[in-house]
Structure 1
């Protein structure tokens, strides 16, 4: 039997982790869930002619804390340790899938599609492991209560990370009072634990590292390859974000970090709502092959300005390969004057401590 502590010690021995007291304090809660799932109690007897009641599932976990504290890494270890069906997914992507499938069920005339949707999920997995639980969309806020009530009733175990304490979910959102029962449900069904490390491990990896590379040549790409491999341990996948029916593909994604080209995000007809959704889903973005900007790519330049504003306000860490230094990217033509603010922000975002505040 491999415990979470065994896996954690193995990562340290391999040099992939550094021992962290706050992470060690969180491990027993994850190990509790793993052990109970591996050795569930026997069904409860209810009477001679009645079927035994299935055992109560273990309480899940809501692990919250600042950016880079190791929440996603602990989730990786937890998922790796399980011998039951589990799905690891970014919460934002999960809710978009649910909304899309609910829409299809309604189109088919299903009167109350939440119940069959929840049954489909609970039949497929025993554990839902979410990255970055956060609620910013009113449609999600109005849905999660009913959906999770059905999932919990079916015995689904939920383990989630978040940058926010449960009471701050959907903070200041429209009709928030209708969302409050979901917060109460989270507190009842999940153990709430803060990962209160004073170290930002992601920032530690980038401390003193160059994050703006020019020119965008083979040498820059090789260095970004090295950084990306170190941050993701060489594992990534794609993430699709849907905004008002538009699908935005982030081709390389891992633990709230994405790696894209300039044209992936600025060569498409995207707007402020799209870039806000991207910034909301990420804590670090690698943006490659930023060209010089001007008359020939004016629309792409405008989108880039909007993207940087969204990333800046959300405190998303940025790694860039570009044709030139920020101040020399856009030196003539309409928009050059306005770009000065963007250049200033790009320069500020290169600072080693930028974006170090917990979200």
Structure 2
């Protein structure tokens, strides 16, 4: 069955020729242009997005959408396409790390007000009617309590929220010590959102056409970082003394910075007490990143692993060019215990691989 025909059937009685067709046709054309075959889960999600777009533009009540599934199955591709095709100016597309960093920052600034969350959302989401929230996950009980208040506030404002996540709602905050305290949010998601699984037997990020448009995928993974490899890529020296770099109100360590290029060691960014807001501020100043000395993550504390995961998330979402230098093959380095490492591995697998040069044959 042709993709547009299947989408039209799934739209059913909610179909509106004017309002939902723009979403369905956009995705059909986008998939065709990029050489993708839409999975059944993607097609159901497109039908749901088209249906809710029709309701929104007609002034009717909407149900928010929660898309979940394994890494690389096209959830962010769907979210970005929906955001692009939605014929509405009052919309925002945000990433989990970016949004929560700014949410915490805003609530601190408004801490003297009776409703610090409401005042912060007034600033962050002024006039917003549709919020596209990418890479949603919850592992920290502090964030979990804030998310509970956040979701209630968004729904009270009548906002259409589109969420993507690697986790089904019942898989959020998996720590058994805290999961039950998050149950009210899971129930709220079930009551106010359509939960749709986006699955496919293939990781779309592994396809050649996924590499055509991103600066991130033009980057490299280099191991073991020999002098010859570094010279071939014209990389700056990172083994020298650290330099102090002012980032916001903090001082971080780096090894080199010039124009829009910045170089760090893994220890500079992940073994020090850095935070997501640091990475976001650095992304405003630098487009080309060099991170040297990726170890075996399994040998690192969980907090160090999580900083690296957060860093890769930010660099990927901001589409920065990355050269990552490791001591061993990438798959060996990425073995670890942190929960979201599968997403990190999927993203880093898109980097071009620079392997060690083979040794010359021995002279007989």
Q: TM-score, normalised by structure 2?
A: 0.62
In structure 2, the residue matched to 1:13 is 32
**Residues 129 and 158 in structure 1, CA contact (< 8 A), matched pair in contact too:** yes
Give, in whole Å, the separation in 2 of the partners of 1:264 and 1:213. 10
Question: Is it true that 1:288 corresponds to 2:323 in the alignment?
Answer: yes
CA, structure 1 residues 323+36, in 2 after alignment: closer, same or farther (shift >3 Å)?
closer
Q: CA RMSD in A?
A: 4.4
Which residue does 1:59 correspond to in 2? 63
Instruction: Provide the secondary structure at the position in 2 that maps to 1:130.
Output: strand
* Number of residue pairs matched by the alignment: 274
Deviation at residue 216 of structure 1 after TM alignment = 5.0
Structure 1 pair 102–265 and aligned structure 2 pair: CA distance change class (3 A): farther
Shift of 1:203: 2.4
Q: Report the Cα offset of residue 17 of structure 1.
A: 2.6
Secondary structure of 1:179 counterpart: helix
| Structure 1 contact 131–160 (Cα < 8 Å) conserved | yes
Q: State the match for 2:48 in structure 1.
A: 29
DSSP 3-state at the match of 1:94: helix
Distance, in Å, in 2 between the alignment partners of 1:205 and 1:145 is: 40
Matched with 2:145 is 142
After superposition, the Cα gap between the structure-2 partners of 1:113 and 1:218, relative to the gap in structure 1 and judged at 3 Å, is: same
CA distance in 2, matches of 1:102, 1:326: 52
User: CA offset at residue 111 of structure 1?
Assistant: 3.5
Question: Aligned ranges for residues 126-275 of structure 1 at < 5 Å?
Answer: 126-172=129-175, 174-205=177-208, 212=221, 215=229, 247-249=278-280, 260-262=289-291, 273=303, 275=305
| 1:23–1:70 CA contact under 8 A, matched in 2 | yes
For 1:96, the equivalent position in structure 2 comes to 101
Instruction: Output the CA distance in 2 between the equivalents of 1:321 and 1:22.
Output: 29
What is the TM-score of this pair, normalised by structure 1? 0.62
Show the counterpart of 1:314: 341
- Residues 64, 292 of structure 1: CA spacing in aligned structure 2 closer, same or farther, 3 A cutoff? closer
Partner of 1:278: 308
Distance verdict in 2 for CA 1:259–1:192, change over 3 Å: farther
- For the residues of structure 2 that align with 1:120 and 1:137, how far apart are their CA atoms? 25
CA drift at 1:287 = 4.5
Partner SS, residue 120 of structure 2 = helix
How far, CA to CA, are the matches of 2:276 and 2:77 in structure 1?
32
Residue of structure 1 equivalent to 2:80: 76
CA distance in 1, matches of 2:32, 2:307: 38
Are the counterparts in 2 of residues 62 and 193 from structure 1 also a CA contact under 8 Å? yes
Question: CA 1:281–1:126 in structure 2 vs 1: closer, same or farther (change >3 Å)?
Answer: farther
Cα 1:74–1:259 change in 2 (3 A) is farther
**1:140 alignment partner, SS class:** helix
Tell me the alpha carbon deviations over residues 261-318 of structure 1, each in whole angstroms, 9 at most, x when there is no partner.
Answer: 115999xxx996354133157579774163889xxxxxxxxxxx99875789813323
Deviation at 1:143, TM superposition (A): 0.8
